[in-house]
Amino acid sequence: MSVLVTAFYAGLCGLLAVLLANHVLHVRLRSASQPKWRPDAVLRVQANFVENVPLALLLLLMMELNGTSHLMLHLLGLSLIACRLLHAWGLSSNEGANYPRLIGAQGTFLLLSVMAVSLIYAFILNSGAF
């Protein structure tokens, strides 16, 4: 029986999604004691996670199914988790632009791009279609 590396990162992301959703609820329930900007910021953290992580996990799974090494999959998966945590921390803790938010968001975009280009390259290399 084969265990997919991607399943591990999907599980971690699932737990992080629950944590972010509960954080939104917590901040909303205590909105009177929160800075005015914070409820919208934590909602954006959760929404941005939902917008980007499913695609990242799909790309990671496609790479795994194409035979990418477990080491590379773990590096990409850990980088995804780190970027999403940095983004969440930066955006929900500080008003406005800051480095954790920037690194988390841009790091996620870089990961998505690297995985997408890698899959396109693997297709061209192995299919003989071009």
Confidence grade of residue 1 (pLDDT, cut at 50, 70, 90):
low
| Domains parsed from the chain with CATH numbers | 5-127 (1.20.120.550)
Statement: residue 129 has pLDDT above 70? no
Q: To 5 degrees, how large is the angle CA 29–CA 30–CA 35?
A: 130
Tokens of 123: 């297709």
Element holding 44 (H helix, E strand):
helix 38-65
Q: What is the pTM of this model?
A: 0.91
- Phi first, then psi, for residue 96 (nearest 5°) are 80, -170
pLDDT in tens, 7-47: 999 999 999 999 999 999 999 888 788 888 888 999 999 99
Tokens of 9: 């990162």
Confidence grade of residue 94 (pLDDT, cut at 50, 70, 90):
confident
* Cα separation, 82 vs 117, whole angstroms: 21
> 72 to each of 33, 94, 108, how far by Cα in Å?
44, 33, 16
